[in-house]
C-alpha cells in the first residue's frame, strides 16, 4: 500500500533546482519515489504512508524552495 501526493513547489527554475528538491524529498522516511516537474512546479511523492506535511515543507525548504499547500 502506497500513498501518492503532489505538492506545489515555488521557486524552481532549472534542472538543478529539480535535482535538489528530488534529493531532499527522497531522503524523507518512507519515500519510495519522487518525480519533480519543472514545467508545472510540482513534486509528486510516492511513500509507504502519508507524509507529515511539515516534514515535506522542511525538506523542500532545506533544498531552498517553498511548498505552499497541497495541490
Ligand atoms: Mo538553477 Mo535553481 O542555476 O535555484 S539551481 S535556478
Q: Check residue 70 and give its pLDDT.
A: 62
* Residue 52: all three cell numbers together: 507529515
Given a contact cutoff of 8 angstroms between Cβ atoms, the answer to whether 47 and 12 are in contact is: no
Alpha helices per DSSP H over the chain: 15-26, 53-63
Q: Which domains does the chain have, with CATH numbers?
A: 3-67 (3.30.70.100)
pTM for the model: 0.93
For a pocket test of ligand 1, which of 10, 11, 13, 24 has the largest count of ligand atoms closer than 8 A to its C-beta? 13
- CA 1–ligand 1 middle distance (angstroms): 34
**Nearest 5 degrees, angle CA 15-CA 51-CA 11?**
30
Task: Specify which residues 67 forms β-bridges with.
Answer: 9
**What digits encode the pLDDT tens for the residues 17-31?**
999 999 999 999 999
* 2 secondary structure, DSSP code: -
Point out the residues of the chain with pLDDT beneath 70: 70-71
Amino acid at each position: 500500500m502506497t500513498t501518492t501526493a503532489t505538492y506545489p513547489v515555488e521557486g524552481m527554475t532549472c534542472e538543478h533546482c529539480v535535482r535538489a528538491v528530488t534529493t531532499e524529498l527522497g531522503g524523507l522516511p518512507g519515500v519510495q519515489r519522487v518525480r519533480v516537474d519543472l514545467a508545472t512546479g510540482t513534486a509528486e511523492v510516492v511513500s509507504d504512508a502519508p507524509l507529515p506535511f511539515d516534514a515535506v515543507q522542511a525538506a523542500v525548504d532545506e533544498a531552498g524552495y517553498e511548498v505552499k499547500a497541497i495541490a
